[in-house]
């Protein structure tokens, strides 16, 4: 058991020796950041535009529905006036 | 018997309030996304460097990881796990697909050899290089989750609790997996 522990301790030591914390090359990290921030701007603008289109679309649809409702109301009222209900009896 | 559980910092499951705020800001502010990237790029690069075995592929996959993170950040929801858990998951999926698509095993990294080649006695360097190469071969023949565990443990110096939070397992499961991983690594080294 102790022998196995010693071997595992040696393996841990080797791992610590060779699996060292490497760093990304600074030029790569910098350039990727620039590309990502630019892509983020594009993505956010796209999302913003899409939201605006949806908002305007919803506003137009709402307005059209209101106009249609009002028109229907006026037509129905006119019809009702043209043909008043006849009293039975 | 030596302990496989080191004295670890208190378990921090979710992101800190500062980090949470940065994540929320990054969902609508590109500059904040840049800050988030700066905070984690080294960790993700290291992870991918040891999973792929070379810096060129590590750079490529790091870029893909952050582009995917950018694409899906609006859907990110904190579920009590560190933000790195989400990033590591993206990086893991990307590296698994990359290995499957190219049907290749990771190669032993050469970058470090180049760094050390200028130092010391050539015979000693050769022996060191052989030792490193056999270790890297043994490491790269481990299952992906075991490689991930060793990277988080040895390279990032994380506690079992922190690794558990990232890998979605209990602290006890990580401790046990770590022990089995070391035993497998020992067998792999004996077989090389």
Q: Which of B110-114, B132-136, B147-151 is modeled with the greatest confidence? A: B147-151
Does residue B64 belong to any structural domain of this protein?
yes
pLDDT for position B8: 36
Q: Which two tokens stand for residue B166?
A: 């990232």
Q: Do A8 and B183 touch (CB under 8 A)?
A: yes
Q: Using 50, 70 and 90 to split pLDDT, how confident is the model at B4? A: very low
Does residue B80 belong to any structural domain of this protein?
yes
Does residue A3 belong to any structural domain of this protein?
no
Domain of B90 in residue numbering reads as 16-105
Query: What is the number of structural domains in chain B?
Result: 1
Instruction: Please list the ranges in chain A whose pLDDT falls under 50.
Output: none
- Read off the pLDDT of residues B60-97 as tens digits, 9 standing for 90 and up: 999 999 999 999 999 898 888 889 999 999 999 999 99
Report yes or no: B70 and B41 within 8 Å, Cβ to Cβ.
Answer: no
Which residue of B46, B56, B60, B146 to mutate against A (max A Cβ within 10 Å)? B46
Q: Do B63 and A20 touch (CB under 8 A)?
A: no
Q: Tell me the CATH number at B25.
A: 1.10.1740.10
Does residue B66 belong to any structural domain of this protein?
yes
The verdict on ipTM greater than 0.85 is: no
CB proximity B37 to A under 8 Å: yes
Shortest CA gap A31–chain B (Å): 10
Higher pLDDT, A53 or B114: A53
Does residue A18 belong to any structural domain of this protein?
no
Task: Compute the distance between CA of residue B172 and CA of residue B158 in angstroms, rounded to an integer.
Answer: 15
Q: Do A11 and B189 touch (CB under 8 A)?
A: yes
pLDDT for position B10: 36
Report yes or no: B64 and B119 within 8 Å, Cβ to Cβ.
Answer: no
pLDDT for position B121: 79
Does residue B112 belong to any structural domain of this protein?
no
Q: Which residues of A touch B74 (CB under 8 A)?
A: 47
Tell how far CA B34 is from the center of its chain: 21
Query: What is the number of structural domains in chain A?
Result: 1
Shortest CA gap B44–chain A (Å): 9
Report yes or no: B188 and B174 within 8 Å, Cβ to Cβ.
Answer: no
Q: Using 50, 70 and 90 to split pLDDT, how confident is the model at B5? A: very low
pLDDT for position B114: 45
Rounded mean pLDDT, B34-38: 96
Shortest CA gap B84–chain A (Å): 17
In this predicted structure, the answer to whether residue B6 has a pLDDT above a threshold of 50 is no
Nearest chain B Cα to A15, which residue? B154
pLDDT for position B7: 33
B25 exposed, middle or buried (CB, 10 Å; 0-12, 13-18, 19+)?
Answer: middle
Does residue A72 belong to any structural domain of this protein?
yes
Q: Which of B41, B59, B135 is facing A18, going by the closest CB pair? A: B135
Q: Which two tokens stand for residue B164?
A: 């558990």
Q: Which two tokens stand for residue A47?
A: 């999302």
Q: Which of B131, B155, B179 is facing A21, going by the closest CB pair? A: B155
pLDDT for position B174: 96
Shortest CA gap A64–chain B (Å): 32
Does residue A17 belong to any structural domain of this protein?
no
Does residue A1 belong to any structural domain of this protein?
no
Does residue B87 belong to any structural domain of this protein?
yes
Q: Do B185 and A11 touch (CB under 8 A)?
A: yes
pLDDT for position B113: 45
Q: Do B30 and A40 touch (CB under 8 A)?
A: yes
Look at residues B41, B43, B40, B21 and name the one whose alpha carbon lies nearest to residue B32.
Answer: B21
Q: Do A16 and B154 touch (CB under 8 A)?
A: yes
Helices (H), chain A: 2-18, 26-82
In this predicted structure, the answer to whether residue B105 has a pLDDT above a threshold of 70 is no
Q: Which residues contact A59 (CB under 8 A, 6 or more apart)?
A: none
Mean pLDDT for chain B? 84
Domain of A51 in residue numbering reads as 25-82
**Angle at the Cα of B164 (from A8 to B71), degrees rounded to 5?**
125
Kindly calculate the radius of gyration of chain A based on its CA atoms and give it in whole angstroms: 37
pLDDT for position B26: 93
CB proximity B177 to A under 8 Å: no
Rounded mean pLDDT, B1-24: 60
CB proximity B117 to A under 8 Å: no
pLDDT for position B107: 58
- At how many degrees (to 10) do helices A2-18 and B122-140 cross? 110
């Amino acid at each position: 058991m102790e022998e196995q522990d010693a071997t595992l301790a040696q393996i841990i030591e080797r791992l610590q020796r060779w699996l060292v914390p490497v760093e990304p090359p600074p030029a790569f990290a910098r350039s990727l950041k620039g590309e990502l921030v630019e892509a983020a701007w594009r993505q956010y603008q796209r999302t913003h535009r899409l939201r605006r289109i949806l908002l305007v679309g919803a506003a137009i649809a709402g307005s059209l529905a209101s106009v249609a409702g009002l028109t229907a109301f006026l037509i129905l009222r006119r019809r009702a006036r043209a043909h008043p209900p006849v009293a039975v009896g | 018997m030596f302990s496989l559980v080191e004295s670890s910092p208190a378990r921090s499951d979710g992101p800190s309030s500062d980090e949470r705020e940065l994540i929320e800001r990054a969902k609508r502010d590109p500059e904040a996304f840049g800050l988030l990237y700066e905070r984690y790029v080294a960790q993700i690069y290291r992870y991918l460097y040891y999973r792929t075995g070379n810096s060129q592929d590590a750079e490529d996959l790091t870029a893909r990881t952050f582009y995917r993170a950018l694409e899906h950040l609006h859907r990110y929801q904190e579920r009590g796990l560190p933000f790195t858990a989400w990033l590591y998951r993206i990086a893991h999926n990307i590296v698994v697909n990359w290995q499957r698509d190219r049907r290749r095993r990771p190669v032993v990294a050469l970058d470090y050899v180049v760094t050390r080649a200028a130092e010391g006695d050539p015979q000693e360097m050769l022996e060191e290089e052989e030792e490193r190469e056999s270790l890297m071969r043994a490491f790269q023949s481990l299952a992906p989750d075991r490689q991930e565990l060793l990277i988080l443990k040895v390279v990032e110096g994380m506690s079992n609790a922190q690794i558990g939070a990232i890998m979605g397992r209990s602290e006890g499961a990580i401790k046990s997996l770590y022990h089995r991983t070391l035993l497998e690594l020992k067998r792999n080294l004996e077989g090389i």
